[in-house]
Amino acid sequence: MSERLNDSLDPKNTSQKIILEINERNEKLYGPYHSKCGLFESFCRCGKPSPNYKLAKNKFNSRTGFNKGKINTVVSEIQGLIQEFNPSDEESFLNYIGDILCQFDTDIAIEVMEGLGEIGKNESRRIKIVYGY
């Protein structure tokens, strides 16, 4: 595992431990992480020839074209926030997070919310209604 990718992560922290596991899985799928360009070798554009790693099936979401691994990372970070801060109203909390994500990309916000259990799926339906999906 590339040290620079995980330098700031604490394996004792539950949410960061999940990210460490995701990073390890991504390195197995996509090759070593390049700190120079910030990408895994399969996606590297820093001029080095990259070997043809076997890419995971469904690597990209067909609707958004967004890397499913990044969506999973965002989902696990939000789950970590919920665990750590234990909001009194999880539905309102996810509503705020959903609104923030929609400012970047509505399709990605929907994908992230769908990964957050039943309350997240309700938030996903709300986003679809508000944004006319």
CB neighbour list of residue 105: distance below 8 Å, 6 or more residues apart: 64, 66
* Residues 49/51/53/55 CA torsion (nearest 10 deg): 30
Q: Where in the chain are the domains?
A: 11-57, 59-133
More confident residue, 9 or 91: 91
Answering whether pTM is above 0.85, one says no
Residue where the block lists tokens 């609707």: 63
pLDDT digits (tens, 9 = 90+) for 96-122: 999 999 998 899 999 999 999 999 999
Return the pLDDT at 14: 85
Q: Is the pLDDT of residue 60 over 80?
A: no
118: amino acid identity, one letter: E
pLDDT digits (tens, 9 = 90+) for 15-43: 888 888 888 888 887 788 777 767 777 76
